[in-house]
Amino acid sequence: MGDFRKYACDISGELFKAVNKKGIRREKLAAELDISVNQIKNYAYDSSKSATLENFLYVLINYKCVDVLNIVARDMDCCVCRLPEASSGQALTDAAADALAETARAVASCMDKEHKKDEVFQSLQRSIEKLVYLQKII
């Protein structure tokens, strides 16, 4: 349980740093999560507090805390793509080009016998992530 708590504190600490850089204070973050500032550290990753976890992840995504999300994703052998801003006029075109390029890389790595299975899997996963994002913005 000690490692679990340390992990939760590390993640929430990284979240605090990320949102502070964006000018959002702990009090505002706690209000957005509908919990106290201390609860953020203690319960952000407590599986018995699923509503808190959902709110916590919502805030991470809402404030585009990609670096913090990547810490969480790394533990699940994933990564978070740096997504274009929604206001960008080129978002759809860029997302389509990214998805196409990533899919081409994934196909090439599947055909290349020298690539390890892990590399092929990661390439396919990145391709799927790009396609899912493209689907969401269409």
Predicted TM-score (pTM) of the model is 0.37
Helices within the chain (DSSP H only): 2-21, 26-33, 37-43, 50-62, 66-74, 91-111, 117-137
User: How many domains is the chain partitioned into structurally?
Assistant: 2
Q: What is the pLDDT of residues 57-102, one digit of tens each?
A: 666 666 666 666 676 666 656 666 655 455 555 677 777 888 888 8
The least confident of 35-44, 64-73, 125-134 is 35-44
Q: What is the dihedral of CA 132, 135, 136, 138, to 10 degrees?
A: 160
Range of the domain at 119: 91-137
- State the pLDDT at residue 120: 81
Q: Within 13 A of 130's CA, how many CA atoms are on the CB side?
A: 22
- Least Cα distance to 106 among 124, 89, 128, 83 occurs for 124
Is 116 within the bounds of a domain?
A: yes
Q: Are residues 8 and 69 in the same domain?
A: yes
Q: Are residues 21 and 49 in the same domain?
A: yes
Q: Are residues 65 and 126 in the same domain?
A: no
Question: Are the C-beta atoms of residues 68 and 60 closer than 8 Å to each other?
Answer: yes
Q: Are residues 95 and 65 in the same domain?
A: no
Is 48 within the bounds of a domain?
A: yes
Q: With cut-offs at 50, 70 and 90, classify the pLDDT of residue 53.
A: low
Q: What is the mean pLDDT of the chain?
A: 69
Is 79 within the bounds of a domain?
A: no
